[in-house]
Structure 1
Amino acid sequence: MKHNFGAGPCILPKEVFQEASEAVIDFNNTGLSILEISHRSKEFEQVVVEAEALVRELLEVPEGYSVLFLQGGASQQFAMIPMNILPEGGKAAYLDTGVWATKAAKEASKLGNVEIVASSSDKNYTYIPKDFVVPADATYFHYTSNNTIYGTEIFEKPKVSIPTAVDMSSDILSRVINVADFDLIYAGAQKNMGPAGVTLVIVKDDLLGKSGRVIPSIFDYQQHAKAGSMYNTPPVYSIYVSLLNLRWLKEKGGVSVIEQENIIKARTLYDEIERNPYFKGTANQEDRSRMNVTFVMDTAEQEAAFLELAKERGLIGLKGHRSVGGFRASIYNALTISSVNALVDAMKEFEEKQGA
């Protein structure tokens, strides 16, 4: 058995894989593959309608927000956000907590002025900055809620008085949030929502059409909202598999239920890291991510030996990002507690072998 701790594209529930594979051969008894049906067909239009309805239900999206399924990943959103909501010559405020936050700010700086309100780069992004001030004259404030590389997460929205945009690519649908606290939420699907290829955007309608810019239609949120995420040919299969995953999450009891499971999984693994003398966490304890657990060992030789043991035990995707080293265990929604226990057992086994 394989236990997939990869950071993304990542694990999805087995039943989702099964149903998605069947649809590749015959989608909903149409005699056609999901890969070949028209995106303008009644059958696929129903997929988009249901997927949007489930996002609204699971996240309790209030009235006055558009829910969009777009392409280009979160990286395209780095540019689309300032295109759509930052006026020419305007200023945006960004919190720098890692690689993706840095890239988002860099793209925005091509379209306006960017002020970095705080950064944790001084300690290789192992903590979340606190007590920073967001300028009141900025058009919007942007932050990344979970940092996949460095293993930190922001659980409470910073208190700001201006519109807020948040990149939730790696913790969307993993915990309860109040969508009304945000003006724009975006997330690549390939962590908790579905496969790579589709990006979820939840944007307050009041923000749209206010930048004063002439925006190419393909990058204009208003155009996508008017077309119901069908302005151009959408990523049909990615949206369909996301729909299956959203159904799975609803059947489990929704976001509040999966949040409790995620808390248990994270606590189980962090407890072993703290107990086991051969492993050491890299992120500040108060800022530790529930989605991406980062840890190291004292020597490269020990890390190589543990990776070999992990491979023998079917534990894959554990090698840390090159900028941090060590290990990264991504424990997204679909990863079961049994997989976390398998990793903990391997850590205990390594400890016992070293002490033998």
Structure 2
Amino acid sequence: METRCLSAADLDDWWHYYNRVGKPGPYHRPDYLQLLSGDFEHDDERPELFVLEDGDDVVYYPYIRRSLESVPFAEDTETDLGVYDDIVSSWYCGGPITSRDDGELCDRFAEAFDDHCRAENIVAEFLRFDPNEENHERFECLEPNFNRETVWVDLTAEEDAIWDGFEKRNRNAIRQAQDTAIEVTPTSDVGDYQAFHDIYSNAMDAKEASEHYRFDIDFFVDLLESDLGTLLIATYEDDVIGGAMLVHDEQIAHDYLRASNPDYWDLRVNNLLCYEAMMYMRETGRERFDFQGGRPGVFKFKKSFSPDRAELYLGRVRHMPEVYDDLVAKAEATGIETESGYFPAYRVEKSN
């Protein structure tokens, strides 16, 4: 049994291991984690990959590493937080992937990774397991906890079958939008990227969304100019009124970021955007459309597109519990809310 830890400087080897575990989807790809790092929650983020090899079998775990120098109380403590890090899995989802469904192999991985984290002064780890890979089932040793249901659509089904899977109110809303002058088309125009970014940013401001959901235009452009992203825009009388930003590989597409101008909601622009995004991904050969999950109101909208469900599980691991507890105490002393359920508790909540 051997282990390796790779960085963005080792992309050839990283791709090699990604292929060995069966190309598990865009959120696990090295180029996606490289694009996301630094634009997700903290400027000091960097992507890493930990690999365990056991003969022909591999456990593949990409994640984002962050220095504890970015916590707000770093300057108020005598502890040198520059020697400590924590990690978070890819977003929307990630977690370890194994080439063999073997609990013993996963247990050995968990033990080896815990040793690695202690040696590297990685205090804590937050995992979002992948509902499409169902990798929480293989890693019971990491004590995954159910978080929420997600919605997905089988794009290999006949178009009529997909349509029949929509709730009646959703079909009516799509027909209503189709009777208007709204047009939904894929685009590679940077001006459209900017227009969508403006609409998306305004939507986040209106919702008072956390920093977790806010991105610079450069991230939008970089992602959409890669082979990972596609933007469909909705236009009405030559004005961009909404868009759906998708992240995908050859098999699966994810409803990544989506927003529309509230002045046009009565025209059911959101329903039409989702429908056209699904159909475009189906036409271009994708087999699955992952709507992901969301808060109750968001989930109610998404589930109107499909009866199919998956499950999102989360993991919270304290690799250095004494250091973790000390950091929580220091955070609490400086006024940070440490009992909200956010993990790690010593950081200011950025996701919701």
Q: TM-score scaled by structure 2?
A: 0.26
- Higher-strand-fraction structure: 2
Larger relative contact order, structure 1 or 2 (CA cutoff 8 Å, min sep 6):
1
